[in-house]
Amino acid sequence: MLDYPQSGERFRGHETIAVQRGAHPADRYFTILRITGHANVWVSECVIAYDGSSLYLVSVMEFADQQVVHETQYFAGPFGTPAWRAALAEPMPGRTVEEA
């Protein structure tokens, strides 16, 4: 099962998910930033680039019997630092809004 909470879509079954992913009209490029997890739940943080823009992607994957049984993906666009908190923050190493 694959869920996109932001659009309310749910895709069931390996074949349906494969068709959904394979039918995307744009060339997509993924940069994996981090993968972390334990036992049956793993999370990946990525940047996905396509159609001249980039989005951050977080994917939560749940496993059973060494297979993904449920994946939930969240997509978010980059945003700049608001002036009110600029003095409190430091840049993340190797990351800027322009790179996202």
pLDDT score of 100 = 39
Domain with 39 in it: what CATH number?
3.10.450.50
Task: Note the pLDDT tens digit of each residue in 80-93.
Answer: 889 999 899 888 88
What would the two tokens of residue 55 be?
């989005």
pLDDT score of 95 = 66
Look at the chain and report how many structural domains it folds into: 1
Q: How far apart, in whole angstroms, are the C-alpha atoms of residue 96 and residue 80?
A: 9
Q: Which residue has the tokens 């700049």?
A: 80
pLDDT score of 92 = 83
Q: Provide the residue range defining the domain that includes 31.
A: 2-99
Top pLDDT among 19 and 52 is at 19
Task: Note the pLDDT tens digit of each residue in 27-75.
Answer: 899 999 999 999 999 999 999 998 888 999 999 999 999 999 999 999 9
